[in-house]
Chains A and B, each alone.
Chain A
């Protein structure tokens, strides 16, 4: 009953005109951001972060960001289906069947099922979060500094481990993020670290500065490599009637929607897994679970192949809030950006947030219900309008986004030093991305850096300097073993790959 009471209180917060307006703006902006190739949820959140922080009201700010986040998670499907161009990595699997459907004149039905799948997946996951969140937060309250340190190490190693192609580079990126977080005055001794006698660096490098450069400018530079100047859509296939699925579509997809919801929620909660992996697993699962005659249609325009990954995508985006709000540890680049925003509002994400700021937490949860409903309405009724908006030429869009990034960087401290740092990190981020160094581990490590160092210090004070404390306490030990296992797994795979390569060379 307590949960129901809290939820009603949260809904009353979310349904105030101001919060509804912010939720609407967030969802609309998110859908546009997600639809534009290059600008994914992380980049969108990073670019709009200074504006969000300037709003001043933490609840309104986080509602806006949450709206952008799940709006962007859906938005990626628009161009995936209509043009075969995924708006973000989590929409890659949608292209496989969505684009063939659009070529067969069923683009509207594919988008309609994406919207409905996203709505059902998102809403069920918010209900699960509503039920599980308070219990998980209570468990997290028993965590001490060693558990937190181990949890953060696990989060960082998992994020890096999921970079299948280049794990060494992913670990390096995470370590770079940790290093950047050490710049500035040491919190305990006051010693200055790597500040080069620049007073502006004494407070450290602002996380937003790095996020704006690494996500915002880098994404613009990557988008500029594409020669296309604008999108052209076939608007005839997108009338409102054609967006509604048929009874046959429903019959084919209903169980896939449910399965993908639970799959997205379970996998999406794990630190580092992210929505992209969920979409791949859910697509593969949908294909295997389909009867042979339907399985043959996967990749050629099967509606199950569109619905399953899109449902998992939105389910995972809601699930990503679970570790952030209950444990205070973000599991992905996007939630790391949101954690940064919360810290800037003076809120420490984690179990205490549920006790100290119930209005904020339950307001956010309430807004998730409202936001999902808004997303469904906007993504069915307003698709033709969105498509028209997406026809803005890329040069115009990129130049405007660049100016927003500059103003965003300037507004942090009203100085040009921050803008210079944004530009520098943009250039660094571009070089790193071109060389396959992933950005999420760096951002995650940067956001967690100070907390990780504090937890390490507090743990070692408790144990009088013995590192054994991380293995002496059961929860911490399990988490630390998990972190070490993920590293060991990567090393094992690398050695096995090297042996295979060597064997192939010998044979040839």
Chain B
């Protein structure tokens, strides 16, 4: 955690410096002392910078824990990649295959990847969930899903 805190503080401070610099292009004050569009971003970035500086100092003063656990295990990184990555891929494919098809594939794939190693359940999910979405969102709530080569 100590290392992660140090790196995060530095990254966020760099981000704040960028926000502060960009906000300088915006008007700080309008007429009669009314805050302009740059007022809040300048103050917010300064305050975040200050908080992160404090966090950095506190983290540096902390002793490194021998054998201390990292807050991101290999497993958690893999989980995040599977969940976010597969969802992103599914959405990218939705113009080609159609959103409902992609959602079905995504649900089936995620269910399998997350531990449901029963292909009958996964296939059932891949078929039923898009049908439910079609009924609830398309028919009832009138959401227009992206259509693909199959025409739905």
Contacts and interface: CB of A to CB of B under 8 A. Distances in A.
Interface stretch (A65-73, A201-209, A412-420): A412-420
Nearest to B47: A175
B26 interface: yes
Contacts of A224: 76, 79, 83, 114
A172 B48 contact: yes
Contact of B115 (A171, A229, A456): A229
Contacts of A221: 76, 79-80, 83
B2 to A, nearest CB: 11
B119 interface: no
Contacts of B123: none
A220 interface: yes
A406 interface: yes
B55 A434 contact: no
Nearest to B146: A416
A484 to B, nearest CB: 14
Interface in B39-78: 40-41, 44-45, 47-48, 51-52, 54-55, 58, 71-73, 75-76
Given A179-B44, A399-B125, A189 B37 contact: yes
A427 B76 CA distance: 11
B152 to A, nearest CB: 15
Interface string A183-223: 00010110101100000000000000000000001001100
A22 interface: no
A457 interface: yes
A176 interface: yes
Interface string B97-135: 001000100111011111110000100010001000100
Nearest to B104: A403
B99 A189 contact: no
Contacts of A217: 83-84
Contacts of B115: 229, 393-395
B55 A168 contact: yes
A399 B146 CA distance: 20
Contact of A406 (B1, B51, B71, B103): B103
**Do most interface residues of chain A lie in helix, strand or loop, or is the interface mixed?**
helix
Given A54-B141, A461-B34, A430 B80 contact: yes
A427 B84 contact: yes
Given A191-B26, A460-B35, A403 B52 contact: no
Contacts of B87: 402, 406, 419, 423
**Do most interface residues of chain B lie in helix, strand or loop, or is the interface mixed?**
helix
A182 B41 contact: yes
A411 interface: yes
A160 to B, nearest CB: 10
B76 A434 contact: yes
B40 A402 contact: no
Contact of A396 (B51, B84, B111): B111
A299 interface: no
Nearest to A225: B76
Contacts of A225: 73, 75-76, 79
A194 B30 contact: no
A460 B33 contact: yes
Given A402-B83, A410-B145, A420-B88, 8 more contacts: A168-B54, A191-B26, A224-B83, A393-B115, A393-B116, A393-B121, A395-B111, A434-B71
Interface of A: 51, 54-55, 168-169, 171-172, 175-176, 178-179, 182, 186, 188-189, 191, 193-194, 217, 220-221, 224-225, 229, 393-396, 398-400, 402-403, 406-407, 410-411, 414, 416, 419-420, 423, 426-427, 430, 434-436, 453, 456-457, 460-461, 463-466
Please name the 3 residue pairs, one residue from A and one from B, whose CB atoms are nearest each other, closest first. Answer: A465-B33, A399-B110, A395-B114
16 contacts: A168-B55, A171-B47, A172-B52, A179-B45, A229-B115, A229-B116, A402-B87, A407-B103, A416-B91, A427-B80, A435-B71, A456-B40, A460-B35, A461-B32, A461-B34, A466-B33
